[in-house]
Amino acid sequence: MAAADSLPRSGPATGVKPGLILAFLCLGQFMVFLDVSIVNLALPSIQDGLDMSDVSLNYIVTAYSTVLGGFLLLSGRLSDTFGRRRLLMTGFVVFALASLTSGLAQNAAMLITSRGFQGLGSSMIAPAALSILTNTFAEGPERNKALGVWGSLAGIASIVGVMLGGVLADGPGWEWIFWINVPIGLGVVLLAPRILPESKSDAPRQRFDFAGAATLTAGLLLLIFTLGEAINVGWGTARTIGSLIGVAVLLIAFLVIETKVEAPMMPLRIFRLKTMRVANISAILVFGTFGALFFFASLFMQQAFGYSPMRAGFAYVPLAVAVAFGAGAASGMITKMAARPVLAVGLTLTTSGLLILWRTGAGSAYATHLLPAFVLLGLGCGMVFVTLQIAAFVGIPDEEAGIGAGLINTSQEAGGALGLAVIATIAYNGLEDKLAKTGGNPAKIHDIQATANHHAFLSAAILCFSALLVALFFMPKGAQSMSSAHAHGTQEPEVAGTPETAGVEK
């Protein structure tokens, strides 16, 4: 019998319905993705309040995402080993305290450091919450519906974060974009033992893979930091090239360590699961697309259309609504068909929306250009997020749910950083020289900025189309729907009949 079959599923706490557990966990997911985007429209207010330079302002965003992305896999393994509810509660305490100090920051260094600790708290929350969810809901229709809700929140929270950041910055002040997290975070910690079940791997406790954890976390931290910095210092500089070489050395060292240790932090056998593997590759491309989309769409509306930060934030409302509809549609479709056609439809809609933005001029009307693009992008975003979350857990046993959660979240964060860095480099290539030659002419500056944004949208569309090709050519066709395949014990051909069926040793 496989280990997953012998491991008892952790059910809900006594008297607590699974729906309440899902709602509680989704709150954690919402906070994590909200804080990725909430600072974007508040950056000018923060800059004025703390007298920060343009260079240091960039680190308010990257400090959070860098630490979050770097520690996700480590946190996933820790949740499996020491308890998922325990790690989630610890993450919320760290997150709440870091939010408090962020709002109290008196200078750039204090704020940037606090944002880093916010990212550390989020890196504990995300994989722990997702692995509790997958242990609470059985693989198949129940889990697909739960992951549908969960996946849709990633897109919705990112958009709400942009809107809320503008409202709070223009209202009570930028400090409140951080302070609003404090009562929510501490309230979650107090309620978690009453609502959430505790679960962890039932495998015998083995020596923790500290060498693997150190090399992988260091490699991911250096990678995400380097990608973010490449926008400012350039891809061809000795600093960027040297950092990328360092990343390669650390990640190769990690792979070597994982083949040698008795209890690896990330068992490499899980990559035999084709659906999971393709889902993570697709996530890197997809979140690279969306990371660039939200960044450049915000600039485009303010630079080309002259929107205020608050108006630009509310312009995203139709996109958020469309994400919810797209996620709901994907949740229903995924129980009747394989992941590939659902993912293909979502990526096609997303690519179409980006191409509309590419052809949208500064004089275009919101109702005829931005609105149709945002509706298509929202529908595609919702469908893609849900499908990738479900596909990333196909065949992963309950005892390694934390690894699966950490891996898909890492793919999302690393993809977002990579996509934004590459697309920003393309869009901003030679931009400063072009602006210098305008002589300060507002009309010429306006045209150059609009052109840079159009280049970004076209690059994002190409990246999204690449994800579509990956899905079409590499995602398993699946003669049955995901849920029916699981119900009948269908296994992926790549691992069927091997000692590690479904990625777990017998």
The amino acid at residue 440 is G
pLDDT mean values, one per 10 residues, the chain (506 residues): 36 63 81 74 78 68 76 80 88 94 91 91 86 79 76 70 75 85 88 82 67 83 79 83 94 90 78 82 88 81 78 83 86 81 94 94 84 94 86 74 74 79 81 78 82 91 94 72 43 39 33
- Residue 51, token pair as written in the block: 């007298």
Please give the pLDDT value at position 52.
Answer: 78
Please give the pLDDT value at position 16.
Answer: 66
Question: CA–CA separation, 130 vs 125, rounded Å?
Answer: 8
Question: CA–CA separation, 62 vs 55, rounded Å?
Answer: 11
Please give the pLDDT value at position 10.
Answer: 44
The answer to whether the pTM exceeds 0.85 is: no
Cα 25 to Cα 214, 246, 274, 389, 485: the distances in Å are: 28, 36, 28, 15, 27
| DSSP structure class, residue 13 | P
Please give the pLDDT value at position 94.
Answer: 95
DSSP states along 219-280: HHHHHHHHHHHHHHH-TTSHHHHHHHHHHHHHHHHHHHHHTTSSS-SS-GGGGG-HHHHHHH
CA of residue 192 relative to chain centroid, distance:
23
Please give the pLDDT value at position 480.
Answer: 39
* 103 Cβ neighbours under 8 A, 6+ residues apart: 175, 176, 177, 178, 179
Please give the pLDDT value at position 495.
Answer: 40
DSSP states along 274-335: HHHHHHHHHHHHHHHHHHHHHHHHHHHHHHTS---HHHHHHTTHHHHHHHHHHHHHHHHHTT
